[in-house]
Structure 1
């Protein structure tokens, strides 16, 4: 199981029956393929879709049916397609219960940066619809790899990249751990099987305390 699947599988467990859920670019879009049995949600994609379904097999993919990341989707009975302005309006007005966003950095205050890194002195690629989601969604889940390619923590004391949203993240899911965002400090709720609290401290810049109910991540 690669790191992307670990994160997507665990993110899917955050959804509650009946919720309207937005899945952001990258790792979050894979969560649709791991929904827990018996949990029925309405999936939203910011390009203008409510009620889409899991990724189809290669032979059944239709280039006219895709999520905001241009990945193929299915449209089960009851799905709705709408103009982008209506979709963004739904995001701003609070119709989305939970959003799972990919992230470049998340800090212990619940700030998230997910839209830009500096390349050739330019910030790239652009904000997209993530800012509307961080403003209008009831629960923001940040889903990201715990460290960058150099081993540096992406769970930081304070974000250094341009922010997408301030103090909006409620839960952080990585390939190593699950944190809840507390009062200026994170709460370690789950660890990847086989890892210890000391292992997580060694790869995490942000301050965190350990939940009394700490347990291993369930990835079945």
Structure 2
């Protein structure tokens, strides 16, 4: 019997009240046609109703791949648990899912991506759930928000703090999906899946296992169907015994705004001179200073934002390959891509399944992480996941909480305040007008990284901005470097809501950072990865 069905037939398989797990990372690997069919069925028939959907990483990107917005309809969605959510510019209409969350029309939770994958793994093995220290003293902790994004979610907690072996842990109950919707490039007639055009394998195997082992069904969306027996067994990432139905979308995009780029899927390697080097601006100044924190031979995680430019800084300085980049979607090595293609890498060494990449991160096996910040609190805590006045501009935590839980070294980067008018002239920073919004605040709105926990664990925490470098110490946040052209009192101390400790060895940031020419970057030795 053929496993090939139409998108509408796939939508008809989903019962009211089902738990549905969707594999995706924004536009990367998103089974968009299948989600679209579910939304269209609901519009026509009023079914399926009251779904609970699981999205370890966001589905859709608001740039041609609607993803979860296809099913963001009152009555269709009852509950959603996601590592991140589609975000959009503050000037744009919020994505439909954000409107539902804000109107309390769906119980919405922001659960760290790695923990959501772990919940699938535990459900597949028929174990009771996840016991972890990831998320302690952050918004994940039930002593804070407990992952809840609105009142409906707060009324149904998904996490509890427990004592185990004399220590505090967080417990997330395993959730068994009745339907898993995953994506690949090719399915053979038996449902074996290969990912040759995908930018990552993500977590499709774990999601399929969780559904299959709990009596559910697995729907795979692919570009094409091949003859039974024609796929090489080493290339198959999800075996056909786990796949019940196949939906074909020959037009599925590889990732956001990208129909297909063979360098993203590792089928060809791009010449290094084909990668764009960042133009000279304030963000490049910050990225250069972040790069000075790295050591040769290190494995380094990258997050979205200014730090995503650091690989291009190393390339410009002739140091490509000096560190190995590791990103949560699964790419190891190569050149992580920017903007709409973030989450993909060209010229990668390998693609790890995303759940195993998160195991690597949660256990702190890598050397450093380069991440962004929206706010820094007096206690060193960082918010990247919530702005009350512009919630849809943020995507939620994604893998940030998993990555920072035990990272040995973290470098947070961002602008010192929001909206400042800045320029760079003659190797000096010129602050023409201060921003109206302070980002160094007495208490962050949402604790995505816990400063006190970082201190307790001995983590090396640095904050890099355009006008200064700060370090987290047991005594507080210490100012260690100041930009040439910045005034200590008016541009830094007066722009923070809390007092900063000024280092007795306060240095001036290297003027070369502020010039439109390579800086002669050299990296320290010390990374343990060859």
TM over 0.5: same fold?
yes
Say if 1:193 and 1:19 are closer, same or farther in 2 by CA, change over 3 A.
Answer: same
Indicate which of 402, 419, 424 corresponds to 1:132. Answer: 402
Indicate which of 470, 494, 500 corresponds to 1:208. Answer: 500
Once the two structures are TM-superposed, the CA of residue 121 in structure 1 deviates from its matched residue by 7.6
Indicate which of 147, 158, 170 corresponds to 2:461. Answer: 170
Once the two structures are TM-superposed, the CA of residue 103 in structure 1 deviates from its matched residue by 0.9
Q: Is the 8 A contact 2:368 2:410 kept in 1?
A: yes
Q: Distance in 2 between matches of 1:92 and 1:6?
A: 30
Task: Please give the TM-score of this superposition, normalised by the length of structure 2.
Answer: 0.36
How many residue pairs get matched?
Answer: 206
Q: Structure 1 residue 152 and structure 2 residue 437: aligned?
A: yes
Matches within 5 A, 1:9-158: 9-35=288-314, 40-53=322-335, 66-68=341-343, 73-75=345-347, 79-119=349-389, 124-149=394-419, 150-158=435-443
Helix, strand or coil: the match of 1:163?
A: coil
Gaps of 5+ in 2: 1-279, 420-434, 455-459, 514-518, 520-530
Task: Give the number of the structure with larger relative contact order, counting CA–CA contacts within 8 Å between residues 6 or more apart.
Answer: 1
Q: Distance in 1 between matches of 2:390 and 2:496?
A: 29
Q: Distance in 2 between matches of 1:184 and 1:155?
A: 16
**Aligned equivalent of 2:484:** 193
Task: Please give the TM-score of this superposition, normalised by the length of structure 1.
Answer: 0.83
Say if 1:184 and 1:85 are closer, same or farther in 2 by CA, change over 3 A.
Answer: same
Q: Distance in 2 between matches of 1:29 and 1:208?
A: 28
Question: What whole-Å deviation, never above 9, does each CA across 1:97-143 have from its counterpart, x for those lacking one?
Answer: 11111111112322111012225788953220000011031111111
Question: What whole-Å deviation, never above 9, does each CA across 1:166-217 have from its counterpart, x for those lacking one?
Answer: 1237111011110111124211111111113213112222321222222222
Helix, strand or coil: the match of 2:401?
A: helix
Helix, strand or coil: the match of 1:215?
A: strand
Indicate which of 473, 476, 479 corresponds to 1:182. Answer: 473
205-214 vs 185-194, greater mean Cα deviation: 205-214
Once the two structures are TM-superposed, the CA of residue 3 in structure 1 deviates from its matched residue by 2.1
Q: Which has the larger radius of gyration?
A: 2
Once the two structures are TM-superposed, the CA of residue 90 in structure 1 deviates from its matched residue by 0.9
Gaps of 5+ in 1: 57-62
Q: Distance in 2 between matches of 1:151 and 1:141?
A: 25
Q: Is the 8 A contact 1:96 1:136 kept in 2?
A: no
Q: Is the 8 A contact 1:111 1:166 kept in 2?
A: yes
